[in-house]
């Protein structure tokens, strides 16, 4: 990455799109844009068509007034998050905002890489369909958000429990199959450590996923991947993806078994020069993490979410996107033309 080059007259900030992953899903997430933003709608419809009969189920579950019971399961949450993330990224590009860099949390990194041209959208969707087929064989379990740093959490770990994600100095996600997950939750609560179940029904980012993949993933012919045309920050490596890594399928297929180091990656990125982080996904979880970094606290970086923090009425989605774009357009170094496609 380039060294920061302070420019006193035009403080152009690097625009970073950030895409959330498993746990960020909400019933009817971003659905207020469906049928309103042509680019968002076209991207979502493309996904539902490409996924065939599963796509129709997915669409119905997404738009249902009451979310299906399995909404947090891999089969719903992951393809919907991927599609919504990609559709929002595409909508931003249509509005005239191009990212200088992209990053994502968990499946959000797949969306980031898609926006950066590593995967075509179709290729990403095919991979996710296959991925759901493989990881639905994962043992039941999940993830537990803990209000503590990695070192403090280490002392509470029991066998079969790993740190699945480091989100910030005082937020980690533990990952484990049952019954270990419930055991560690009980132990943490007894020790007075605050924790909360993340919305996941499988132990993502846990080494057990390596065995699941070995047992259930066929040796498929995979289409070649392309080098990213936009900088991709990987929360797995903590650094900018180089061409060789980005185009290596093994890097992508190993992700469900590897920890997500989103917090340290974000902090490293924001510590280098001026940045504007735009969260393109449901909720504001990544924006919240960014707002707690020193870079945002001292004004070198700014973080902004496209959608409301909590699911609301369809109108809330539309209003939130309009407000976010207005704020983006008013910022320093904004593109001359920046308007939503609706």
If one asks whether residue 149 binds other proteins (CB under 8 A), the answer comes out as yes
Question: Cα torsion for 216, 218, 223, 226, to the nearest 10°?
Answer: 40
Q: How far apart, in Å, are the Cα atoms of 342 and each of 40, 46, 88, 339?
A: 10, 19, 13, 8
CB of 145 to other proteins, least distance (A): 5
Residue span 307-326 as binding mask against other proteins, x where in contact by CB under 8 A, dash where not: --x-----------------
Closer of 37 and 167 to other proteins (Cβ): 167
Question: Interface with other proteins by CB under 8 A: which range of 3-11, 78-86, 135-143, 191-199?
Answer: 191-199
Closer of 134 and 173 to other proteins (Cβ): 173
Say if residues 142 and 201 touch (Cβ distance below 8 Å): yes
CB of 74 to other proteins, least distance (A): 22
CB of 182 to other proteins, least distance (A): 18
CB of 296 to other proteins, least distance (A): 7
- Per-residue exposure over 92-124, b if at least 16 CB sit within 10 Å of its own CB, e if not: bebbbbebebbbbbbbbbbbbbbbbebbebebb
Closer of 139 and 169 to other proteins (Cβ): 169
Question: Interface with other proteins by CB under 8 A: which range of 45-53, 130-138, 141-149, 243-251?
Answer: 141-149
Closer of 121 and 204 to other proteins (Cβ): 204
According to CB under 8 A, which residues from 268 to 297 bind other proteins? 284-285, 287-292, 294, 296-297
CB of 148 to other proteins, least distance (A): 9
Phi-psi region of 160 (alpha: psi -120 to 50; beta: other; left: phi over 0): left
According to CB under 8 A, which residues from 166 to 185 bind other proteins? 168-171
Strand-pairing partners, residue 144, are 174, 197
Q: How far apart, in Å, are the Cα atoms of 147 and each of 153, 199, 295?
A: 9, 16, 21
Q: How far apart, in Å, are the Cα atoms of 34 and each of 31, 43, 70, 271, 283?
A: 5, 10, 22, 36, 17
CB atoms within 10 A of CB 336: 6
If one asks whether residue 196 binds other proteins (CB under 8 A), the answer comes out as yes
If one asks whether residue 194 binds other proteins (CB under 8 A), the answer comes out as yes
Closer of 53 and 192 to other proteins (Cβ): 192
Closer of 221 and 298 to other proteins (Cβ): 298
Peptide bond before 180: cis, by omega within 30 degrees of 0? Answer: no
Q: In angstroms, rounded to a whole number, what is the distance separating the alpha carbons of residues 103 and 277?
A: 10
Q: Give the residue carrying structure tokens 């900030």.
A: 13
Q: In angstroms, rounded to a whole number, what is the distance separating the alpha carbons of residues 200 and 122?
A: 25
Q: Which helix (H) or strand (E) holds 251?
A: helix 249-253
- Token digits for 265? 């990656």
Closer of 162 and 320 to other proteins (Cβ): 320
CB of 304 to other proteins, least distance (A): 10
If one asks whether residue 147 binds other proteins (CB under 8 A), the answer comes out as yes
Closer of 31 and 295 to other proteins (Cβ): 295
If one asks whether residue 145 binds other proteins (CB under 8 A), the answer comes out as yes
- Out of 10, 192, 244, 250, the only residue in the binding site for other proteins (CB under 8 A) is 192
Which residues are CB-contacts of 226 (< 8 A; sequence separation ≥ 6)? 117, 118, 247
CB of 21 to other proteins, least distance (A): 15
Closer of 136 and 272 to other proteins (Cβ): 272
Angle at the Cα of 255 (from 249 to 261), degrees rounded to 5? 130
Residues at the contact surface with other proteins, assessed by CB under 8 A? 145, 147, 149, 168-171, 192, 194, 196, 284-285, 287-292, 294, 296-298, 303, 309
């Amino acid at each position: 990455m380039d060294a920061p080059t302070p420019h006193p007259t035009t403080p152009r900030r690097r625009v970073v799109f950030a895409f959330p992953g498993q746990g960020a899903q909400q019933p009817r997430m971003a659905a207020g844009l469906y049928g309103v933003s042509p680019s968002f709608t076209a991207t979502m419809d493309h996904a539902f068509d490409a996924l065939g009969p599963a796509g129709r189920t997915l669409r119905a579950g997404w738009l249902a007034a009451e979310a299906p019971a399995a909404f947090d399961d891999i089969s719903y949450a992951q393809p919907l998050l991927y599609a919504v993330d990609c559709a929002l990224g595409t909508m931003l590009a249509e509005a005239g905002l191009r990212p200088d860099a992209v990053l994502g949390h968990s499946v959000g990194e797949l969306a980031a890489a898609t926006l950066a041209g590593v995967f075509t959208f179709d290729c990403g969707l095919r991979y996710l369909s296959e991925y759901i087929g493989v990881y639905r064989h994962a043992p039941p379990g999940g993830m537990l958000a803990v209000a503590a740093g990695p070192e403090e959490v280490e002392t509470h770990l029991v066998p079969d429990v790993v740190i699945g994600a480091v989100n910030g100095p005082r937020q980690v996600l533990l990952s484990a199959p049952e019954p270990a997950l419930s055991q560690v939750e009980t132990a943490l609560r007894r020790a007075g450590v605050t924790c909360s179940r993340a919305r996941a029904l499988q132990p993502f980012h846990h080494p057990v996923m390596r065995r699941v993949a070995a047992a259930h993933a066929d040796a498929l012919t995979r289409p070649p991947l392309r080098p990213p045309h936009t900088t991709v920050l990987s929360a797995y490596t903590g650094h900018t993806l180089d061409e060789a890594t980005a185009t290596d399928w093994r890097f992508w297929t190993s992700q469900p078994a590897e920890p997500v180091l989103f917090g340290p990656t974000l902090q490293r990125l924001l510590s280098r020069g001026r940045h504007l982080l735009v969260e393109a996904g449901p909720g504001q979880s990544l924006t919240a993490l960014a707002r707690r970094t020193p870079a945002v606290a001292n004004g070198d970086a700014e973080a902004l979410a496209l959608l409301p923090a909590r699911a609301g009425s369809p109108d809330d989605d539309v209003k939130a996107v309009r407000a976010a774009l207005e704020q983006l357009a008013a910022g320093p170094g904004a593109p001359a033309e920046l308007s939503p496609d609706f």
